[in-house]
Structure 1
Amino acid sequence: MTQQTAARGDNLFDVVLRGALLPTAVAGVVTALVLTPFRGGLGLVSALVGVAIGLVFFASGLFIVGRFVRDNSQPVLFMAVGMSVYFAQVIALLGVLVLARQIETFDSLAAGIALLVTVLVWQGAQMYAWRKARVPVYDEPADADQAPEEGPS
């Protein structure tokens, strides 16, 4: 009996992106709404900005890596693209945080809490989506009928 991947023919990065995006967005919006009575309207807006930053950060990384790495058989290419995308994301995130510090009405506590929830839910949903996609992590063993012939001893 062979196990088939749930995403046969699909880019596995797209499968994970679809599996993690919706739960994370819902959790972020719920967090922003929960923070509203404690932090006010500016807290709501700041929390939604924090959720948007988290979603853009993670989704753009998966999207870009999925576009450049279509074949999982080239680990060096995968690692190079992944590290380059992550480095660019961190630089862009630093720029966004420096810009956010300049805005006096920005509630950094509400944005930070919402961003933390976004990160945690994204990681959990991403792990769940990878598991549901049934990504093979090793080559299928050869059938017993096709055992290699032994040479002379």
Structure 2
Amino acid sequence: MRDLALIVHVGAGVLAVLLGIPAIVVTLRRRRLNWVGEIYHWVIAVTCLSALVMVPYDWKRLWFFWPVALATYLFVYLGQRAAEAPGGLWYRGVLRGYGGAWIALWTGILITTVPDQSWTWLLPVVLGTVVIEWLCFRMRDLAAS
């Protein structure tokens, strides 16, 4: 079961990383939920569920999958909800939701690739948050002009 979960997790994770930016861009351009955002949501869900399946097999090494998987799914859910009901500042929800999920994916990748280093938690979160917030303000300025 662990091997199957790992195969599903890696496949869905790679697809999620590849779909993250297109999901944001297409959703912002179309100003509503679309097939790319919908697929991104479900690929993230599969990635998160497969991560949770693997945790009990190696708790000491994989315990962090629980909070990362939960945060990742909550972010993509926020992005999807914002895209489903555009209006007002909906683009902030899309950027923070879809973008936050993408950052969480990269955080999981770094934590797994380079374990026992505190920067693997901090780097994607700090850099990603700065970029997302910059984009939120930039979009506000574009909408005002």
How high is the TM-score relative to the length of structure 1? Answer: 0.41
Larger helix proportion, structure 1 or 2? 2
Specify the structure having the higher radius of gyration (Cα): 1
Q: Which has the higher contact order (CA 8 A, sep 6+)?
A: 1
